[in-house]
Amino acid sequence: MKSINLSDLDRLVVGALLAHPRATQAQVGHAVRSSEATVSRRMSRLFRSGLLRVTGVLDDEASHRARSLFVRLRCSPGAAHRAALKLAQWKETGSVKLLTGSIDCVAEIGYTSNEHLLHLMMEELPRLDGVVATSSNQVIRRFSTPHSWNPGLLPEPALQTLHAARLDHWNEHPYPAAAPPLSSLEEQLVELLTADGRRGWQELADSCGVTPSTARRRVESLMSRGILRMRTVIEPEHIGLPVNAFVWLSINPTQLGAAGEVLARHPDVLMIAATTGDRNLCGEIALASDAALYDFLSGTVGSLPGLLHADVAVGLRTVKRAGKILPEPADDDRGDVASQTSSAARAHTPSRSDD
């Protein structure tokens, strides 16, 4: 992953693509108040660097293909990194992160049946070298996901305009009781958009041997039904949010929904979900500093309705996010990232320069 310095305009472009991952250059230009030519150059630079990507996500729950589970690992000294790398190789893992605290690693795993889950938990996990204990929390309701993450990079009117232009479900909706199976063409389109969520209709059509109108109609149908969702992926540290953490909360069950909705509306929350297990509300947060983490825990979490207990573990490294294993940072890049994020956190006034 190439390290680059993000300007104020770059951050606005990232904010626009978080709000609408398949927004046209004209839509992004209008949102950030810049020309299409400038936006095109900035977007190309961001995508080439590897800091930013857009992916299509087949919603397993909406399509009734799979269910999700958060797995926490405790490892023997020196074994956590190796275990996380092995876990990231599993096709079932969507995300894997190394943490500091009582938990060494957390992963989100998708499973298709109880037998599949039994195999993963009772046979595959124990085979990971150095794992000394595991715990898990099954996702039973999502209050927010990274599809709707809004870190506050864009003014609210521009954000609402971009949200209104989306066809896919950027926020959480009740899942349909049944979903028809995908056709072979739809499977192919989903696979192409998973690899690159900004592929155009002509490129999709050429790859599938259909007309652009057919490709567009099928994709838009999948989006409108909530089966295919688009997501812009960037590590929070690149936009001035270097403190990435996971929270596991125990909430009085009668107030679980209210607490989940409070956190879903908070800009520091990437995702929050109701779960089974020893904790019934789990999520990921991204903040600008340790002081901001303190404020979030003491203020937002501390005042949640029905709060009984809270655990927090700060992320050390993202090994896998949104289904993609991330390259290991070079030693000389780590200082650059810290410099970028600190300067980004100090930036408040967007620049309107053309280049």
Residues with Cβ within 8 Å of residue 248, at least 6 apart in sequence: 137, 278, 279, 281, 282, 310, 311, 312
The verdict on domain 180-224 having CATH code 1.10.10.10 is yes
For residue 153, give the amino acid letter. Answer: L
Q: What is the DSSP letter of 299?
A: I
Instruction: Say how far apart CA 97 and CA 81 lie, in whole Å.
Output: 9
Q: What is the DSSP letter of 284?
A: E
Nearest to 320 by CA among 94, 82, 92, 128: 94
Spacing of C-alpha 26 from chain mean position: 25
Q: Kindly give the confidence (pLDDT) of every residue in the chain, 355 residues in length, as a single tens digit, with 9 standing for 90 and above.
A: 566 789 999 999 999 999 999 999 999 999 999 999 999 999 999 999 999 999 999 998 888 889 999 999 999 999 999 999 999 999 999 999 999 988 999 999 999 999 999 999 999 998 999 999 999 999 999 999 999 999 999 999 999 999 999 999 988 877 666 778 899 999 999 999 999 999 999 999 999 999 999 999 999 999 998 999 999 999 999 999 999 999 999 999 999 999 999 999 999 999 999 999 999 999 999 999 999 999 999 999 999 999 999 999 999 999 999 999 999 876 555 444 444 434 444 333 333 334 4
The pTM (predicted TM-score) of the whole model is 0.89
Kindly tell me the burial class for residue 306, based on how many C-beta atoms sit within 10 Å of its own C-beta (0-12, 13-18, 19 or more): middle
What is the model's pLDDT at position 353?
39
Spacing of C-alpha 205 from chain mean position: 28
